[in-house]
Amino acid sequence: MDLEPLADELADLDACLWCLGTSSAGHDEASYTRITYELTMAAAEVLRRRSPGLCFCFVSGAGTDTNGRAMWARVKGRTEDALEAMGLGRVVLLRPGFIRPLPGVWPRDTLYRVMHPLAMGLYPLLRLLGGATSSVEIGKAMLAAARGMGDQERLGSKEINALARRYDARE
């Protein structure tokens, strides 16, 4: 949680692609907040001071809302709001719905492992409806956003996929 020892290494950066996080499954609100909010804000604060013009890309989630019923949505919502208010150069919030992992990558959580084959079967329909993306496309969209290739600051799965295509089409 104390990133001060790394502060010099975090100076003069153009972007931070913040993908660190965990599923809320198995966490109470306090432990999920520590990982999702407190760690993110600790890093963002050091980055704000050492790289004030930085673009901070934060992987959040579809349905994020500070007033939401789901614990994870409230915590992610507080995190988004705090990032936007802290004075970073630019904050881009990626709010994917269903995320198709890289080939060969399997979820660690038991429930997700059980549901994974069913979800993969539904993936084409979810994607068609704009509610799904892949981990590869999230990475490309983050790189594109960091390079200023998009002007949106809140991206759902559909917008993530479109920005990833723009990244692929760059010359």
Contacts of 126 (CB under 8 A, 6+ apart): 97, 98, 132
Which range marks the domain in which residue 165 is found? Answer: 4-169
- Of the pLDDT bands very low, low, confident and very high (cuts 50, 70, 90), residue 113 is low
Short-list 58, 12, 48, CA closest to 153: 58
Sheet holding 154-156, edge to edge: 15-18, 55-59, 90-95, 154-156
Q: From CA 135, how far away is CA 139, in angstroms rounded? A: 6
Mean pLDDT of 45-68: 94
85, two tokens: 């208010």
Burial 10-45 (b: 16+ CB within 10 A, else e): beeeebbbbeebeebeebeeeebbeebbebbbebbe
Per the structure, the count of domains in the chain is 1
The CATH number given to whatever domain includes residue 49 is 3.40.50.720
Both structure tokens of 40: 């993110």
Q: What is the pTM of this model?
A: 0.89
Predicted confidence at residue 124, as pLDDT, reads 79
- pLDDT above 60: residue 171: no
Q: DSSP string of 14-43?
A: SEEEE-----STT--HHHHHIIIIIHHHHH
Q: How many residues does the chain have?
A: 171
